Chains A and B, each alone.
Chain A
Amino acid sequence: MSSIERDRVADLPAKGRLALPDLQNLLPRLVLAPSFAVLLVFVYGFILWTIYLSFTNSRMMPTYQLTGFDAYQRLWGQPNWYMALHNIAIFGILYIAFCMMLGLLLAILLDQRIRAEGAFRTIYLYPMAISFIVTGTAWKWFLNPGLGLERTLHAWGWTSFHFDWLINTHMAIYTVVIAGVWQATGFCMAMFLAGLRGIDGEILKAAQIDGASTWATYRRIVIPMLSPAFLSAFVVLAHMAIKSYDLVIALTGGGPGNATELPSTFMYSFTFSRNLMSVGAASAVIMLIIIAAIIIPYLYYELRGRAQ
C-alpha cells in the first residue's frame, strides 16, 4: 500500500476505517477481475461456443441451426479419427513416460554435485527453446533413410544398418515420440532438479546414518518427496501431448498415409481445410473430454491428498 493511500486511510472517519478489511479483501479480486473476465470469455466462452457448433451443421462458416448428434455420428464414421485416437494413446503414454523417466534420471545425475553443472543444465534445456517446427524438420532430415542417419552410417561402411521408422506406416508414430521426448526431456529435468534441490539435506543425512542404501534413499524418500514435481510435469506433458500439432506437421505431415494422424491434426484439417467445421468441433469436444477424464481425477486425488 502506498504512503498516499495510508494517509487517506488515516484521514478516514472511524466508520470508514471499519470498512477497510473489506477493501483489503476486495483489492486482489479487483486486480484479478480483468484477466479473469478475459479468461472467462476467451477460454470458457469459446469452449461453450465450440460445444454449440458441434451440434450444428456448420461447414465453412459457423451456422447456428441445431442438428443434433449428426456431427458426432460423422466423426465416429471416419477411419482417420480412429487412427488419431490410436496414435494419441501411443504417443501420449510413451511421451509422458519417457520424458519423466529420462528427465528424472538426468536430474538425479546432475544433482551429484558434478563439475560444470550449469553448462550441462543449459545443454539439456536448450531443445525446449527451439520451436516444434524446427525440431520436426531437423528430425525429419535426420531420420530420413536417404538423407540422415542411415545414409551416413552406410557411407561410413556399416551397410547393414537399417532404420526406416519415419517412412514405415507401422513405426512412424514412434519417430514422433522420439522427437517429442528429445524436446521435452530437458524441461522435465529442470522441474525435477528444482524439486531435488528443495529436499532438506538433513533428511538425506538421517537416512544415511540409519544405513539406507542410495537406491533405497531415492526410492523411499526422494522420489515420493518429488510428487508435486511429478504432478506438474504430468499436467504440462499431458496437455502438450494432446495439443501436439506442429511437431507432426513438420516431421511427417500426418503420413505416411494417415499413419501419424493425431486428434489435433484431424481437428484442424476438418475445421479449416475440409470445411466440415461441425465435425472439427465435435472432435475438439471429444479431445476436451479425454483430457478432462485424465486430468480431473489426478488433480482431485493430488489436491485432496495435499489438503490432508
Chain B
Amino acid sequence: MSGIRLLGTAVATCALLAIQSPAPAQAADSVEVLHWWTSGGEAAGLAVLKQRLQQQSVTWRDAPVAGGGGGAAMTTLRARITAGDPPSASQMLGYAALDWANEGVAADLSDIAAKNGWDAAIPKALQAFAKHDGKWIAAPVNVHSANWIYVNKSVMDKLALPVPTNWDEFIALLDKAKAAGVIPIAIGGQSFQEANLFESVLLTTGGPAFYKKAMVDLDPAALGSPTMKTTFERMTKLRSYVDPNFSGRDWNLATAMVIKGEALLQNFPDSAKGEFNAAKQVAGKDYLCLRFPGTEGMVTFLTDEFVFFKRGAGALDAGQAKMAADIEDPAFQSAFNVLKGSAPARTDVSDAAFDACGKKGIADLKTAIANDTLLGSIAYGYANPPAVQNAIYDVVTRHFNGQITTDEAVAEMPKAVAAAK
C-alpha cells in the first residue's frame, strides 16, 4: 500500500517537475492572465497591476492575444476552457462575463467584494455586467464612455464658433469646418465606429428614455418609430461630413487626423486619449473633450473587467484572490485609469491625478448615476447581447454606406433585432 503511495508521489513529482521545468524556481502563487492590452497606455496600465502583484510575491504569467476588440482572445479562451485548462483570469467585455458565469466556470468573488466594499463603490449599471445570481463574478477595472467627441482646439479656434450644445449648432459647426476646407468628422468605416456614431446620434435625438426603450428593452414599436427615422436621417446628414476614403480606416488613424488638424473632431470612447497622449497633446490646451452635442450629463458606458476561473478545487487560489482585491484597490484604480485614459470603476476614487478630460469623465459619470442616465453602449455590446448588437451593426453600416435607404433601414431594424433574439 505504502509502496503504491510512494510510487504515486514519485509520478506526481515527476509530472510537476516536467510541467514546471521551463519556469525556474516559481513563487508560491502565480496568476496567468489572458488579455489584449498590448499597446501604449493599456500595456502601461497593466504593468502597474503586474508590479503590485509581484511585490506580494505573486508571479505574473502573461498570456496576451493581440487584437483590439479581443475577438481572438475570446476564441482562445473558449478553446482553453473547453479543453479544461482555463487561465487564472481573463479580460472581458460586455455580456461575456455573464455568459461564462452561466456556463458555471467563473469563480465567485463575493467574499473579496464584501471585504472591499464593491457593492457601495461600483455603480449599479456596471454591477449588471459583473454580478450573476447575486454573486460577484467579475472585477470591473474602468468605465469608458462612447459619447465623447474629441476636437482639435486650434481648428476649433479658427472656426470661432461656441461649443455646440444641440444638433443645430453642431451642424452649423460642421458646415463651417467644411467650408474652411477641413474634414468635419474623422471616422473609419468599420461597423463598430459607425455604430458608435449611431448611438450618439440616437441618444441626442431620442433622449435617454427612448434609448432605453429602443436599444435596451428592444421594443419593436420604438425600433420602427419616427424617432428612429429621424436618427437615420441624421446619420445620412453626418455621412456628408465624412471624407470619401473612410472605408476600413482604423480608429487610431481617424484620431491621428484630428491630432494633425486635417479633421475637426472624432466621436469615440476615451481610448482616443491614449493617441493624443502619445502625440504629446495636452487635454484642454491642444484638444478638447466634449460630450456629443445634446448628450451632456448622459453617459453611454463600456467597462473592462476581469473574470477569474475556477481551477481545481473550485475556490479562488491565493494569487487570484490577491489580484481580484488589487484590481478594486482605489490606488490601483487611479494609477491604471490615468494611464489608460478611462474613469475608475469605483466612484470613491479621487480625481486628483487625472487630467482635465479625466476629471470631466469622473464628474459626468457621477451626474449620470444621479440622473439615471448611465446607459449601456450599443456599439461596444453593453446595451444588448452580441447577436442583437451585430444585427444592429448590420443595419447601421449598410445604411451609412448607402446600401439601403433610410426607410428601408427603419423597416429593417425591428426585423433584424427580432431575428437575432
Chain A positions near chain B (C-beta within 8 angstroms): 59-61, 74, 77-80, 140, 144-147, 164, 166-167, 169, 172, 252-253, 255-259, 269, 272-276
Contacts and interface: CB of A to CB of B under 8 A. Distances in A.
A275 B248 contact: no
B419 A257 contact: no
A145 B245 CA distance: 7
Q: Kindly list the 7 A-B residue pairs having the minimum CB-CB distance in the complex, ordered from nearest.
A: A257-B401, A146-B245, A167-B247, A256-B247, A256-B401, A257-B398, A257-B403
Given A166-B247, A167-B245, 6 more contacts: A59-B387, A146-B243, A257-B401, A258-B397, A274-B386, A276-B387
B74 interface: yes
Interface residues on chain B, size class: 20 to 34
B400 interface: yes
Contacts of B246: 167
B402 interface: yes
A256 to B, nearest CB: 4
Interface centre among A79, A169, A259 (most CB of B within 10 A): A79
B189 A256 contact: yes
Interface string B85-122: 00000000000000100010000000000000000000
B190 interface: yes
A255 B244 contact: no
B244 A164 contact: yes
Contact of A273 (B99, B190, B390, B402): B390
Interface centre among B103, B248, B412 (most CB of A within 10 A): B248
Nearest to A257: B401
Given A169-B402, A258-B403, A276-B387, A145 B99 contact: no
A37 B316 CA distance: 40
A61 B400 CA distance: 33
B78 interface: yes
Contacts of A60: 78, 99, 103
B75 interface: yes
Interface of B: 71, 74-75, 78, 82, 99, 103, 189-191, 243-248, 385-387, 389-390, 394, 397-398, 400-403, 412, 416, 419-420
Contacts of B190: 253, 255
Contacts, number: 83
Contacts of A169: 401-403
B394 to A, nearest CB: 6
A258 B398 contact: yes
Contact of B248 (A61, A77, A80, A140): A140
B71 A257 contact: no
Nearest to A250: B248
A164 B246 CA distance: 12
B206 to A, nearest CB: 24
B398 A77 contact: no
Contacts of A269: 390
5 contacts: A61-B82, A164-B244, A167-B248, A169-B401, A258-B398
Nearest to A77: B419
Nearest to B99: A60
A61 B416 CA distance: 23
Contact of B386 (A74, A140, A258, A275): A275
Nearest to B102: A60
B248 A256 contact: yes
Nearest to B388: A274
Contacts of B419: 74, 77-78
Given A256-B189, A256-B401, A167 B386 contact: no
B387 A274 contact: yes
Nearest to B71: A273
A148 to B, nearest CB: 10
Contacts of B74: 272-273
A276 B394 CA distance: 15
Nearest to B400: A257
